[in-house]
Amino acid sequence: MADPKIADTKPAVLEMAAGTYWYCTCGGSTNQPFCNGAHKGSEFKPEKVDVTEDGKMAFCQCKRSGSQPLCDGSHRNL
Ligand code: FES
């Protein structure tokens, strides 16, 4: 599988409301960290994220985290 694009080299720290979201795994969305359909025609698919309670979340935008969709600090090694 090809490497995803690096959308940004820092996480997106967002106040999330409980609900279902679609995380961009390809790095091509202009609505990071969420899918906007830009992956179409590629081997990537968005990842469903079920947020069970309101709160702050740090989403990976470098797409290199081992804990996607969440940041694990991997952007520091880019
Ligand atoms: S736009 Fe990146 S996974 Fe959909």
Decide the pairing of beta strands 12-16 and 55-59. Answer: antiparallel
19-31 in b/e form (b: 16+ CB < 10 A) is: eebbbbbbbbbee
CB 76: neighbour CB atoms within 10 A? 10
Give 73 Cα–ligand 1 centroid separation in angstroms.
21
The pLDDT value recorded for residue 1 is 78
Task: Tell me the pLDDT of the chain (78 aa) as tens digits.
Answer: 799 999 999 999 999 999 999 999 999 999 999 999 999 999 999 999 999 999 999 999 999 999 999 999 999 999
**Residue among 37, 12, 1, 8 at smallest CA distance from 22:** 37
The pLDDT value recorded for residue 71 is 98
Give 16 Cα–ligand 1 centroid separation in angstroms.
19
The pLDDT value recorded for residue 33 is 98
The pLDDT value recorded for residue 53 is 97
